[in-house]
Amino acid sequence: MALEPLFKLEQPEIQDKIPKSVMRKIRSRLKYLDEGIQRVEKAAELKYPTYYVEPFLPIVSSELEPSQIGVMYARTIPIEVEGSLEIVVQITAALIAYGSKATLHAVLAHEFLHYASLVKQFTSRELLSAELTSSMFEAVHLDTSGFSQLEKIYKDKSLKRLLKRKFSNGLVDERLHKNVLKHWLAKGLPTIRLTPDSNVMKISIQSVFNLKFDQMLLTRLKEIERVNK
C-alpha cells in the first residue's frame, strides 16, 4: 500500500485543530524522522514498513483506573485494506514535535521490532492452524514479547544501546512527557481515547493469507530462530 506519510496532517480539519506554530514545529523536525528511518534500515539491512504521521495522540486509560493514563507515542498495527493485510507504523505528531532526536530514533527502532514480531506471528504455522476453524484472527500487540531475540536483527551496536537506554521500563524520556502534557494535552490538541484491550484486533484469516511479507525479513527471522535453537 503506497502511503504518503503526511497525508493526515494535510487534511483541512486537522490543520484547524493544530496551531500553525505547532504545525511548523512538526514540519521542521520531520528531518529527524527521515534520518531515523534511514538509520533503522541501515542497521537492519531491511526496508522499513509503511509508516505515517498520526495527528491524534492515543491516550490509554481503563475503567478501573480512569485517573491513570498512558500515552502511546507510536503504534505498529495490522490493518485490512481491500481484503489484504498491511502492517503500518503510526508515528504521532506529538512525538515528532517534542521528542528528542535520540528518542525518535529509538521509537522507530522499537516499532520496527513490533513489525518483525507481527510478521513472525502471522507466518507461524502453529498460530495460523489454530485459528483456521474461526472466521476471525486476533492479533495481540505485546509491547516487549520476544524482543531480546529480535534485537539481533540490528547490526548497529549504538542503536542497540539506545534501545536499552530508552526502553528500560517503557519509554524513558521525562522531558518528552512533560512537554506533551504542557503543550499538547493541556492545550486540547487532538487526542484519541483507547482502552487496554484496544491492542486486540480482529483480522480475517483471508487477509492474513493475502499479506505479502518482506522475504528478506523472513529470511532474517529464520536465521535468528535457527541460531537460538
| Residue type, position 55, single letter | P
> pLDDT for 83-113, tens place per residue?
777 889 999 999 999 999 999 999 999 999 9
Task: Answer yes or no: are the C-beta atoms of 227 and 149 closer than 8 Å.
Answer: no
Tell me the pLDDT band of 139, cut-offs 50, 70 and 90: very low
Asked whether residue 224 is assigned to any structural domain, the reply reads: no
Asked whether residue 188 is assigned to any structural domain, the reply reads: yes
Asked whether residue 4 is assigned to any structural domain, the reply reads: no
Nearest to 90 by CA among 138, 141, 159: 141
Asked whether residue 225 is assigned to any structural domain, the reply reads: no
Stretch among 12-21, 42-51, 148-157, 177-186 having the lowest mean pLDDT: 148-157
What is the pTM for the complete model shown? 0.86
Asked whether residue 81 is assigned to any structural domain, the reply reads: yes
Asked whether residue 86 is assigned to any structural domain, the reply reads: yes
Asked whether residue 17 is assigned to any structural domain, the reply reads: yes
Asked whether residue 219 is assigned to any structural domain, the reply reads: no
If you ran DSSP here, which 8-state letter would residue 112 be given? H
Question: Which H or E run contains 89?
Answer: strand 84-92
Cα–Cα dist 121/182, whole Å: 38
> Which range marks the domain in which residue 67 is found?
12-211
Task: Answer yes or no: are the C-beta atoms of 56 and 190 closer than 8 Å.
Answer: yes
Could you give the number of structural domains in the chain?
Answer: 1
